[in-house]
Structure 1
Amino acid sequence: MSANSGIIPDPIARQPWGMLIPLFLLVAFGAAVLYSAAGGRMDPFASSHLIRFSVFLVMASIIASLPRPFVRFMTYPAYVVVLVLLIGVEVIGNVRGGSQRWLDLGFMVLQPSELMKPVIVMVLAQFYASLPLSMLTGWRALIVPGALIAVPVAFVLLQPDLGTSLAIAFGGAVVMLLAGLPIKWFIGGGVAAVAAAPLLFFFALQDYQQRRVMTMFNPEADALGAGYHINQSKIAIGSGGIFGKGFNNGSQSHLEYLPEPQTDFVFATMAEEWGLVGGLFVLGIFTIILSWGLKVARDSRDRFASLVAAGMVATIFFYVAVNLMMVMGLAPVVGIPLPFMSHGGSSMMTNMICIGALMMVNRWNREAPRTGLS
């Protein structure tokens, strides 16, 4: 035991409790909301939510213990394995709700596209960490990472899964930006994306995806159809007021007006019962977790670790930002759950991988002093 830890063993004292305690509180709060969403029962949502978190917390602890050389060595093989799984989804994947996104491995049903979110961050961090700084302004710094992102995004769009494809692209783009690529390339890419948006809307999106985009601008135009989700979500959030209707007293979810109250619209379920106070609590917890992750990235002793940490923060942030905008009608309904609160194994797995990677980099930072990015 160290002098600073007193009677607390070092392995326990060294944990990032400033992040873990808020995370535990958020997961527990999510379980309470899921308990209410099920009509005052632990099953089927709250109990499985807590079990999944416990299992993936063990996984995150294992990730946190991995040595740097092993992680860097495994980045490209991991990318290839997940890419093969994505191809397998197209060949033998299970179809649910009109989408082909899952692989039945016998002992579990896996959604490989979820694994690609953290993996794309790792592989791009490894690429830029190995690339000389003098080559960051060359086309190789753009073309190779662009291809590494575009290939899995193309397979995910075939499923079709617009939300996950955007998440993969966002995480990859953040790593490219922080790696030091010329900002003019991103400005040019943004201009090109805006110019191509009409073509993508009419020729790349499915009919239901087009309706979701149009509904975002005028949900009242089809209040009982495409706009139903957003309208009911706004009603639930607005009716909560400042302090909410009280725990287990939400009418929108209990009377089944609010679709998917346990997954995509869990924030609306929470806001109806806990009001503005509950919403600020959730936002505050996410701010603490993401701020801690950014500090880990800033304190990282080398380029690879810094990019990994920043990319994992960006991945979690994408989930949070898109989900909150979605439930408030500021973004199309794209099936992005709220981390650590929504019921769902795939999203919990992805976000706990991100947490594990951040804990891993935090351990690297603690074990070796910062010597500058290289």
Structure 2
Amino acid sequence: MIEKYKLDFRLLKRLDFKLLIALITLILFGIINIYLCTKGDVFNSPFLFTKKQLIWFFISLISMYLFLTFDYKIIYRYVPIIYWITIALLIAVWIPGIGTTIKGERGWINLRIFLLQPSEITKFSIILMLSKLLEDMNCDINNLKNFIKLLLYVSLPMGLILIQKDMGMTMVCFFIILGMVYIAGLNLKVILGGFLTIVLGIVILWNSGLIFQHQKDRILEFLSANSDTSGNGYQLSQGLISIGSGGLFGDSLSLNPKVSPGYAGTHVPEIQTDFIFTAIAEQWGVIGGLFLLFLYGILIIKILKIARKARDKFGELICVGMASYILFAITQNIGMTLGLIPITGITLPFISYGGSSLLTTMISMALILNIEMRTKKLTFSK
């Protein structure tokens, strides 16, 4: 049984250690910052979020290893099962006694030991399903029958997420799909038509009741010339103060473990999730922010290089889907903390607090490492 999960040392030589080191560095940097911005008396435990994130990190490392031990092509057979399980989980959040509502959004499943957020699994499931479908149809995406089939498969999970009023994850899934269909060769006129449809859809959704009032207020606040720093604009205004106080090299006092959290940790709501970049900018300054972007740059460039070397379309599109997710997520998250983009509930990949997100993204990265390790067949020496 144990032999089944041993990694061939010849494959280990092909492991992209630069990508792996950048990934682990990002996650550890995130855990450090989660501690620094929540080290105050959080539910009488200053290590509450840090301990939980560390536990998920070790679970994710074990999962990564397991996903490296078998050829990624094996998962190709089980993609439909993964997809429909995800759909079942998205439906399960509405079942009384199973689904849990947090801050008005019914998007979690209570497993007693921890809360599972199915929408985080959905982005992974969509990447896999879209990759399989596109390989099956040899990327003949401009065929009307094939296009409608793809549209149906992606619309179902996105519709279920939209019903949960999770606009952030809906946007994430849309840009993942956009990146993948563009690489697959979708006609640019269709892509443009898709954008126009999205604009029309937003107008309809605005008056449909599927968007929370606070989500509308965030957009209206962003468009308003007079920012309300005490109401809907409070989170952004406090975040900008935190970023400004970091300067070039950061606030060394906030890095002291014996001192309470800095300005961001005590004034910015949801600091450990959506707005963790404000804490990073305060604690490490512009240098820390550039270091973070440097690590993300390594990840995205490496992933796209692996996509070019992949032995099949399935592997290539998994890489493109993951790169699209990371690129959009960091642009949206950092952009909203700087006041350049309306605020949405999109976390910073590998950095923000969240077990479901960390587990699914690390498994996705394991598949990408797996794809590179198996770009060529192993040869046996005499």
- TM-score higher than 0.5: yes
State the Cα deviation string for residues 129-155 of structure 1 (Å, max 9, x = none): 01145x432112321111111111111
Residue 257 (structure 1) aligned to one of 254, 260, 267: 267
Secondary structure, in 3 states, of the residue corresponding to 2:375? helix
1:28 counterpart residue number:
28
State the Cα deviation string for residues 82-122 of structure 1 (Å, max 9, x = none): 10111111223111221111112345421111111011011
Q: Distance in 2 between matches of 1:190 and 1:268?
A: 31
Secondary structure, in 3 states, of the residue corresponding to 1:140? helix
Query: Which runs of structure 2 are paired with 1:1-374 in the superposition (5 Å)?
Result: 10=10, 12-39=12-39, 43-92=47-96, 93-132=99-138, 135-203=140-208, 204-218=210-224, 220-246=226-252, 247-248=255-256, 251-254=262-265, 256-367=266-377
Q: Which runs of 5+ in 2 are unaligned?
A: 1-8
In 2, are the aligned partners of 1:124 and 1:145 still within 8 Å (CA)? Answer: yes
Secondary structure, in 3 states, of the residue corresponding to 1:329? coil
TM-score, structure 2 length as denominator? 0.88
1:3 counterpart residue number:
none
Q: Say if 1:62 and 1:42 are closer, same or farther in 2 by CA, change over 3 A.
A: farther
Cα displacement (A) at 1:258? 1.4
Q: Distance in 1 between matches of 2:127 and 2:110?
A: 26
AA at the equivalent of 1:20: L
Cα displacement (A) at 1:187? 1.3
Q: What is the percentage of aligned positions where both structures have the same residue?
A: 30
Secondary structure, in 3 states, of the residue corresponding to 2:345? coil
TM-score, structure 1 length as denominator? 0.89
Secondary structure, in 3 states, of the residue corresponding to 2:108? strand
AA at the equivalent of 1:300: A
Cα displacement (A) at 1:49? 2.0
2:3 counterpart residue number:
none
Cα displacement (A) at 1:35? 2.1
Cα RMSD, aligned residues only: 2.2
Cα displacement (A) at 1:347? 1.7
Q: Distance in 2 between matches of 1:292 and 1:13?
A: 17
Cα displacement (A) at 1:325? 1.1
Secondary structure, in 3 states, of the residue corresponding to 1:94? strand
Q: Say if 1:213 and 1:63 are closer, same or farther in 2 by CA, change over 3 A.
A: same
AA at the equivalent of 1:302: D
In 2, are the aligned partners of 1:122 and 1:308 still within 8 Å (CA)? Answer: yes
Q: Distance in 2 between matches of 1:157 and 1:222?
A: 28
Q: Say if 1:22 and 1:284 are closer, same or farther in 2 by CA, change over 3 A.
A: same
